[in-house]
Structure 1
């Protein structure tokens, strides 16, 4: 599983088993991601998704 928000994360997202683009990610990253987070970087998006995926 990988999380990213900008174009420099493209390869990481594509090569991971499950790639998440942050809600505020660049459009090119959103196109290749498996999922898009419900929250952005400024609203605890990463923490929210980790808790949602692994603790609930």
Structure 2
């Protein structure tokens, strides 16, 4: 099963590609917003995992 971090990272990359090739400025903006959202979620998952590992040590 794919981890949350990998899923959100993959989705961010997909949305960045969609923004790059979007025809309209509205589509480009929306895909860029989604890419930022997924990248933020991926980053928060990494922080959570690192904190969990540090607490376990």
TM-score, length of structure 2 as denominator length: 0.23
TM-score, length of structure 1 as denominator length: 0.23
Normalized per residue, the structure richer in strand is 1
RCO (CA 8 Å, sep 6+): is it higher in 1 or 2?
A: 2
Larger Cα-atom Rg? 2
Normalized per residue, the structure richer in helix is 2
